[in-house]
């Protein structure tokens, strides 16, 4: 009788799904239409639910659809053990010529830990985190520990979006993989006592025809396509700070035009050229032609061995200096080989010579890092590769004390302005910038 009841429920779900242009991705009976890849975690059907159980010593294991999907809306429910990690792959691949068939691609994160990144988008075995839930902190509360949670993944064109229990979580714009399989992940475990941990899925259904994008929500959008603005970003008020092609909107610091040497533009990147001698005689810093007060600034940077550079904000040019423009600086540095990397307050991501970053992940030399500076009502945040690495309040007693002990104590008006230019520093090292965007607040 129990088996008949479960079959009836599965049939009813399939009937409802088809009437709304939905198709079941899992039949509730067996693993027809699915194949296991990489590790040997145990997948089974129990009570009409798809269950994954950890196996000690096995790598990440995936139960993948035999069919590939491009544009779709996927809905499912999941319940995960509070001590494990899991996820759902989408637009993912497994190819013999890529890491011996390692599953790679976008992943809807299922993270019951205190970090609370459920709903974030990870790039499995490829680029790491694309959208951490620190970028949309209020949505962290959407996940319900120890309960069934309802998830939604919407992939239409280059727009990749997620929801947890109806709450918008992540929004990524990317064109790397337009099509691939969907897969359920059972994460590897490193301790024998963690064997047998369970993650469960049910009511998996997909829509692939007559798709309509969900309404925009005012959450942060990560756009990974160079020198483009997505409709979602424009809806949020994001614009180019650099257009990727010309020097429009920029000039040399303490000058009325763009430097005629020291900087080049090529293939959507703004490149600081390596040189010797004084900064002021080799191109020098460049600054925006407009001033900014409250904003969200995004940019990507790539370093070379021992390179040093920085992005400065609240630059006024009233603090005259023979070299670089004076302002609050987001430090960019090869921590391993540059001497400044030995001092936390001058290392990569720091507020230069004032505040050291914490919990940062810096990409190796030669790879692009994603940076963000958020300034609102005098509160400032530095972000690196999706993580907030420091924050402070302009004008606070603690901040003034830091300035009084720093190299900037000799500049009377340092950090006293609430508006100024944004500057890219010329430090005589090869450094690349791209995807420079800003949203005025």
Mean per-residue pLDDT, 373-379: 96
Q: What domains, with CATH codes, occur in the chain?
A: 2-207 (2.60.120.560), 237-440 (2.60.120.560)
Query: Looking at residues 103-131, what average pLDDT do you find?
Result: 97
Please state, rounded to an integer, the average pLDDT across all residues of the chain: 92
CB 64 within 8 A of CB 89: yes
Contacts of 15 (CB under 8 A, 6+ apart): none
Task: Label residue 283 by pLDDT band (50, 70, 90).
Answer: confident
**What is the pTM assigned to this prediction?**
0.89
428 or 172: which leads in pLDDT? 172
pLDDT 10s digits, 93-115: 999 999 999 999 999 999 999 99
Tens of pLDDT, residue by residue over 23-39, are 999 999 999 999 999 99
Q: How confident is residue 413, by pLDDT bands cut at 50, 70 and 90?
A: confident
DSSP string of 280-349, one letter each residue:
GGTT--EEESS-BSSEEEEEEEEE-TT-EEEEEEEE-S-S--SSSPPSEEEEEE-TTTSGGGGSGGGSTT
pLDDT in tens, 151-160: 999 999 999 9
């Amino acid at each position: 009788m129990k088996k008949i009841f479960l079959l009836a429920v599965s049939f009813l779900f399939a009937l409802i799904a088809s009437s709304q242009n939905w198709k079941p991705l899992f039949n509730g009976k067996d693993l027809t239409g699915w194949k296991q890849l990489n590790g040997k975690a145990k997948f089974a059907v129990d009570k009409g639910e798809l269950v994954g159980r950890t196996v000690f010593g096995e790598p990440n294991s995936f139960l993948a659809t035999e069919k590939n999907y491009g544009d779709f809306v996927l809905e499912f429910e999941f319940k995960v053990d509070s001590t494990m990690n899991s996820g759902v792959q989408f637009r993912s691949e497994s190819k013999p010529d890529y890491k011996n068939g390692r599953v790679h691609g976008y992943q809807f994160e299922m993270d019951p830990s205190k970090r609370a990144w459920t709903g974030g988008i990870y790039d499995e075995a490829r680029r790491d985190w694309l959208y951490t839930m620190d970028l949309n902190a209020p949505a962290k509360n959407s996940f319900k520990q120890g309960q069934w949670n309802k998830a939604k993944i919407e992939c239409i064109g280059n727009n990749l979006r997620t929801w947890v229990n109806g709450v918008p979580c992540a929004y990524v714009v990317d064109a790397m993989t337009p099509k691939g399989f969907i897969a359920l992940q059972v994460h590897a475990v490193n301790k024998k006592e963690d064997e047998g941990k369970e993650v469960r899925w049910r009511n998996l259904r997909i829509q692939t025809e007559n798709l309509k994008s969900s309404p925009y929500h005012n959450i942060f959008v990560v756009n990974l396509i160079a020198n483009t603005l997505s409709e979602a970003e424009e809806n949020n008020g994001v614009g180019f700070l650099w257009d990727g092609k010309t020097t429009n909107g920029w000039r040399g610091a303490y000058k009325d035009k763009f430097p005629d040497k020291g900087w080049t533009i090529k293939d959507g990147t703004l490149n600081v050229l390596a040189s010797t001698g004084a900064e002021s005689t080799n191109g020098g810093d460049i600054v925006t032609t407009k001033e900014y007060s409250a904003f969200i600034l995004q940019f990507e940077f790539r370093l070379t061995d021992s390179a040093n550079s920085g992005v400065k904000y609240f630059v006024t040019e009233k603090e005259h200096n023979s070299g670089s423009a004076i302002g609050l600086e987001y430090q960019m540095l090869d921590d391993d080989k540059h001497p400044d990397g030995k001092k936390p307050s001058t290392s990569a991501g720091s507020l230069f010579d004032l505040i050291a970053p914490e919990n940062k992940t810096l990409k190796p030399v030669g790879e692009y890092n994603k940076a963000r500076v958020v300034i609102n009502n005098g509160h400032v945040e530095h972000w690196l590769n999706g993580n907030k690495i420091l924050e402070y309040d302009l004008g606070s007693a603690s901040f003034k004390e830091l300035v009084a002990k720093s190299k900037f104590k000799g500049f009377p008006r340092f950090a006293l302005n609430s508006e100024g230019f944004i500057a890219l520093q010329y430090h005589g090292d090869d450094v690349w910038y791209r995807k420079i965007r800003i949203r005025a607040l």
